[in-house]
Structure 1
Amino acid sequence: MPQASKRLILPMLLCSLALAACSTIPDGSDYTARADADRHSLDHWSALDGARPAGYLDDLVQAPELDTLIREARAANPDLQQTLLSLKILQAEYRQTRAAQWPEADAGLSASREDDSGTDYTGSVSVSWELDLWARLADDTRAEARDVAEQLALYQAARDTLVAEVMQGWLKLTNLQHTLAIETERVAVLDRNEQLILQRYRAGLGTLEDLDTARTSAAKARATLASARAALRQQQRAMNVLLGRPEGRTLVASDYPDVLLPLTDLPEQTLQRRPDLKAAYLAIEAAGFRTQVAYKDMLPTLRLEAALTDGGPSLSDALLRDPVWSLLGQLSAPLFRGGELRAAAQAAELTTAQRYQAFRETLLTAVQEVEDAIDQETSLARQQDHLQEALASARRTLDQYRQKYRTGLVSLLDLLEVQQQLYDLQAQLDDLTYQRLDNRIGLGLALGLGTKENGSL
């Protein structure tokens, strides 16, 4: 066999292996296409009466004091700051990965001396560059870029969730303050009733059973009042955690603010806004690029190296005035790794499939959150109407029982029972009002309403 033909055998073999491997590399578009199809499969949400368009979560509640709390939380919440730092770390790692596509240049200067001979100085400059024949380095860079975009979406999701939690926590403070006021009034009324029954008992007009019943009701109400005070303190501490401060007292609104009922757009528009779905989709793309990188790791690589060297007994001789140059091209390919590279490629492909299933789970959860919030709005509105009717009826009943008690037609214990029903209904109605407003904020978050930007990352 001619010598020239022998020299061509190895390059031809490497090219054949490369072409065979290229034919087996998946493009990774199948899972992203499935994700797109899943996202577009919904036609509409359930309808809501009285809904109005809103661009941001911040637009749902118009309260300057709440805006101040939101700014404080975004600046100081430790969990959000950790997420932001994770994003900055990935941005730095992306710049590190992107640098692999550029040539590497190094310079060196050395000095040596042997026995009685003079000192020899050597200077060198070398440049090396891996040619991205199969776009392996480019795919790796694209995967890192998707990681950065995914983390940015996760940061946006964490920021939106934090804003919603601050808004809901602030409403909860108002709810607990109302509960405290209702229970305080209940205790005051029961204490007065207990004293009245005690006076009647001492005058021989009441029974010991009536007195014990009154004392039991008053003691139970005082226990409920103590629980309400503790719940308010706990909520204040929970707000401090959200706001990123060790202590402090959040000002509580005397009454609930108006909370806008957000308009439910088409599902496709809603789902495109949700940052958690964006993150899940970007994770599929990143895994797809890494699958291609894993398959391309089985292909040959070509690396070029060039070097300039110069030296002599003088330091100026090492400044590359008359250098000697060299050029080296290195073509290498993995021949046998015990199945390691093939297994790594299969694992990467399975990871892409796993990311797709995670996207499906996130999508299903998003749909559930929207539909649950819509259904809850309708249900709470009906409950609120029924309780308002019950409360109005209870007030009329209380007026009637007071008149009957003055004429001796009903006992004091009967009057006390009606009073307790009235306070119970007031507390239940206030809780329903809070739940409905809280749910509207949750609906806005589920619909992908973000928060207004107030500065760079």
Structure 2
Amino acid sequence: MIRRACIVWPALLLAGCSMNPQLEMPVAPVAAAYPLANAMDEAHAADLGWREMFGDPRLQRLIARALSDSRDLRIAVLNVEAARAQFRVQRGAMLPAVEVAGSYSRQRTSAAAEAEAGRGSEFDQFTAQAALTSFEIDLFGRSRSLSQAAFERYLATDEGRRATQIALIGAVADAYLAERLADEQLKLTEATLSDWRQSLDIARRMHAAGQNSGVDVAQAEGQVRQAEADLEARRRVLAQSTNALALLIGGPLPEDLPPPLSLAEQGIRTQLPAGLPSDLLVRRPDIREAEHQLVAANADVGAARAAFFPRLSLTAAFGFASGALDSLFNASSRAWSFTPQVAAPIFQGGQLRGNLDLAEVRKSVAVANYERAIQSAFREVADGLAGRATFERQLDAQRQAVATTARRVMLSDLRYRAGVFGRLELLDAQRDDYAARSALLDLERENLSNAIGLYRALGGGLLEYGAQD
């Protein structure tokens, strides 16, 4: 037994040479710098914790609730556990499986089989053994490649969980802003409807006094009815926004939430530093996920290559067998077996070549997915930087437009009451002012959403507090 073991151990030491092809990561197919980058981009927004990014205490509570109760994030965590278990299964295949077994049997032979004795005989059989069952000695690295592929997919799944967390935080913040926008649009419509009802009342009184025509009253009534229709639409949007937010956080909104802040009071940082495009390779979990998937696909190619070569497996057992239990472990009761086996593929009907071709194609797909992930991340950051550079100026212009339409409403109302102009001019001024105020609310929300998108695109959301903490 010892001499045979000396023959096996060198083979075990030689096991594990890899057939994996040399993997060279593709060059990032993006520019070396972002468009519209500036001096602030020496830092990186991903170092900013999400509690520092989002200053509204109500939003912070909602994000914390989502991180603990969201079903999407829970599924991502369970997927990580499943990938980890799969890796343990594949890694276990590289190690010898040793089993210990004991048995007892009692037999009787027939009288015909023992003609001389003229009668059958009975005897006991006790056995105890430790067995090594069909252990593959990984001479060409097939099992090691499969284990590496499983490990890389586990790492990819864990990066997918991180990407899900980033996406979840951004989605909760966006949904919260949508709810805040719907609420403020509803309040604007309510205030506007109240003003227009007062204008309708004035138009009716002036008509009763003979100071205007029935056309003015009809115009004012039409304006009020349109505002009433808008009011119901705003209520519907608010209810739907609340439902979307509840879905993201994993349950109904808690009743003890802090009071909400308006869009103008959110305190979300809109001027975020972007760093360099090369930072995305380590900051973005989805890019790291694609990278691990590429390494796993490369290991699959190595396993497919190794399948063309012979496989050496070993089965061995050592134990004791005796007819009496008290003599089972005597030296004379020892028994052993040693069965090495070599299997070499001769004809597989093209399966081995097909498996190799498939593995190589999947590797090419993984390369394309990796490059696409980088390009998509670059584009998302570039879009966010375009918003960073333009939204503030657009907001200033829109605020001036609101001030102008408000002044026009005031002057038109004075002229209408004085009888200088008709109702139509006042109606147009009021509609323009309502549209300008509504557009300002939309623009404020878009500006904040752009900041959230840039924060998410840069890989922000994994830290609760800043890296300096």
User: TM-score, normalization: structure 1?
Assistant: 0.87
Residue 402 of structure 2 is aligned to residue 391 of structure 1 = yes
Give 1:153's aligned amino acid. Answer: E
Structure 1 residues 43 and 412: CA distance shift in structure 2, 3 A = closer
Query: Is the alpha carbon distance of 1:320 and 1:422 closer, same or farther for their aligned partners in structure 2, counting shifts above 3 Å?
Result: farther
Which runs of 5 or more structure 1 residues have no equivalent in the other structure? 1-21
Tell me what 1:228 maps to. Answer: 234
Match of 1:91 in 2: 84
Residue of 248, 265, 273 corresponding to 2:275: 265
Q: In structure 2, do the counterparts of structure 1 residues 404 and 200 end up closer, same or farther at CA, with 3 Å as the change threshold?
A: closer
1:445: which partner in 2?
Answer: 456
Moved more, 114-123 or 155-164: 114-123
Relative distance call for 1:192 and 1:330 in structure 2 (3 A) is: same
Which residue is 2:122 aligned to? Answer: 117
CA contact (8 A) 2:34 2:382 kept: no
Q: Which stretch of structure 1 is more off in the superposition, 121-130 or 171-180?
A: 121-130
- Aligned residue-pair number: 429
TM superposition shift of 1:126? 0.7
AA of the residue aligned to 2:89: Q
* Residue 56 of structure 1, aligned match among 45, 48, 63: 48
Change (3 A) 1:247 1:66: closer
Counterpart of 2:430?
A: 419
1:184 maps to what in 2?
190
The counterpart of 2:419, out of the listed 394, 408, 421, is 408
What's the counterpart of residue 15 of structure 1?
none
- Give a deviation string over 1:236-281, Cα, whole Å, max 9, x none: 0000000001566675323431221210111101342111111111
Offset of 1:141 from its aligned partner? 1.2
* Deviation (angstroms), 1:119: 2.8
Superposition pairs of residues 209-288 of structure 1, within 5 angstroms: 209-246=215-252, 252-255=260-263, 256-260=265-269, 261-288=271-298
In structure 2, the CA distance between the partners of 1:67 and 1:319, relative to structure 1 (3 Å rule), is farther
CA distance in 2, matches of 1:319, 1:26: 48
| Cα offset, 1:331, TM superposition | 2.0
Partner of 1:19: none
Give me the whole-angstrom Cα distance separating, in 1, the residues matched to 2:328 and 2:365: 57
Residue-by-residue CA offset, 1:307-340 (whole Å, 9 max, x unaligned): 1132223334445763212222222211211121
Mapped pair 1:139 → 2:145: yes
Q: Which amino acid aligns with 1:306?
A: A
Q: Sequence identity of aligned pairs in percent?
A: 25
Taking a change above 3 Å as real, the CA distance of residues 319 and 206 of structure 1, as seen in their structure-2 partners, is farther
Aligned to 2:113: none
Aligned to 1:47: 37
Moved more, 158-167 or 324-333: 324-333
2:347 pairs with 1:339: no
Secondary structure of 2:100's counterpart equals strand
Runs (4 or more) in structure 1 with deviation over 6 Å come to: 49-52
- What is residue 8 of structure 1 aligned with on the other side? none
Contact 1:306 1:325 in 2 (8 A): yes
Corresponding letter in the other structure for 2:204: L
Letter in 1 for 2:268: V
| Matched residue type, 2:260 | V
Distance 2:357 2:226 in 1: 65
Check 1:231–1:318 CA distance in 2 against 1; reply closer, same or farther (3 A cut). farther
1:290-301 aligned within 5 A: 290-301=300-311
Structure-1 residue corresponding to 2:68: 75
Cross-structure match for 1:105: 98
Of 345-354 and 118-127, more deviation after overlay is shown by: 118-127
* Aligned position for 2:156: 150
Change (3 A) 1:49 1:390: farther
> Residue by residue, what CA displacement relative to the aligned partner does 1:280-328 show, whole Å, maximum 9, x if unpaired?
1111110000110011011112222321132223334445763212222
Q: Which stretch of structure 1 is more off in the superposition, 264-273 or 248-257?
A: 248-257
Structure 2 residue aligned with 1:27? 21
Q: Secondary structure, in 3 states, of the residue corresponding to 1:123?
A: strand
C-alpha distance 44-206 of structure 1, shift in aligned 2 (>3 A): closer
TM-score (norm 2): 0.85
Measured in 2, the distance between the counterparts of 1:109 and 1:293 equals 37
Q: Is 1:170–2:176 an aligned residue pair?
A: yes
